[in-house]
């Protein structure tokens, strides 16, 4: 057998082949798989978190509730489920920048942000962001001014942290839907800030 000069197939091709094999053998129902994918792409994911942030930016009463009882305020928008039983929201300010990590594994607020990104689960991020957060954030593209204190919050099985990013300047007249489109998962974890487009 001659080796393929193009190398082994990439992850997406291997995943597709595995799915076809499982469906062909009757071990998995394609409709069920499609339902899982649709759920994590459309119903569970960063868009949920962006919706929460935009609501807090446009509704002072909701913002106060979110910071007081994140779990209940988030649940009021229909975002509940495993990995979201107890969520604490930390407000980014001009004086303090919050960043979230899970040093033990990858505890993450799935109902609000979907599946955790690979960098969040990486042992290097989990260890370094606690010891040298300013350096790690700079490496990820976020330069936090020296006068702004950085606080690192360690999520666990008991509590998951997320941040309420600062609203970017120049967005005062935007409706919640347009504001939500500006918010990224990384900004809610605290490794980025929200920028006006």
For the stretch 152-197, pLDDT in tens is: 999 998 999 999 999 999 999 999 999 999 999 999 999 999 998 7
The reply to whether 169 and 72 lie within a common domain is: yes
96 and 24 housed in the same domain: no
Q: Is residue 195 part of a domain?
A: no
Tell me, yes or no, if 105 is annotated catalytic: yes
Would you call 102 a catalytic residue per the annotation?
yes
Closest CA to 46 of 197, 183, 193, 195: 183
Identified catalytic residue from 105, 118, 155, 156: 105
Instruction: Identify the band that residue 10 occupies on the pLDDT scale cut at 50, 70 and 90.
Output: low
**Which range scores top for mean pLDDT: 5-14, 44-53, 119-128?**
119-128
Decide if 76 is catalytic: no
Query: Would residue 1 count as lying in a domain?
Result: no
Of the candidates 157, 165, 147, the one whose C-alpha atom is nearest the C-alpha of residue 66 is 165
From 158, 62, 171, select the one nearest 109 (Cα to Cα): 158
Do residues 54 and 134 share a domain?
yes
Cα torsion at 88, 95, 171, 64 (round to 10°)? 40
Tens-place pLDDT, residues 99-120:
999 999 889 998 899 888 889 9
Is residue 4 included in any domain, yes or no?
no
| Statement to judge: residues 106 and 124 lie in one domain | yes
Structural domain tally of the chain?
2
């Amino acid at each position: 057998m001659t080796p393929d000069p193009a190398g082994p197939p990439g992850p997406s091709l291997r995943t597709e082949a595995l799915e076809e094999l499982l469906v062909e053998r009757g071990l998995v129902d394609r409709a069920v798989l499609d339902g899982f994918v649709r759920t994590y792409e459309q119903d569970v994911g960063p868009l949920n978190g962006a919706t929460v942030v935009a609501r807090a930016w446009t509704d002072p009463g909701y913002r106060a509730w979110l910071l007081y009882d994140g779990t209940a305020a988030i649940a009021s928008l229909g975002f509940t489920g495993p990995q979201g039983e107890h969520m604490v929201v930390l407000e980014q300010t001009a004086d303090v920048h919050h960043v979230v990590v899970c040093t033990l594994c990858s505890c993450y607020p799935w109902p609000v942000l979907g599946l955790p990104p690979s960098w969040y689960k990486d042992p290097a991020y989990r260890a370094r962001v606690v010891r040298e957060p300013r350096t790690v954030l700079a490496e990820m593209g976020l330069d936090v001014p020296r006068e702004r204190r950085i606080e690192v919050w360690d999520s666990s099985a008991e509590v998951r942290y997320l941040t309420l990013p600062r609203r970017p300047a120049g967005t005062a007249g935007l409706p919640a839907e347009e504001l939500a489109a500006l918010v990224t998962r990384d900004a809610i974890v605290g490794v980025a800030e929200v920028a006006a487009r």
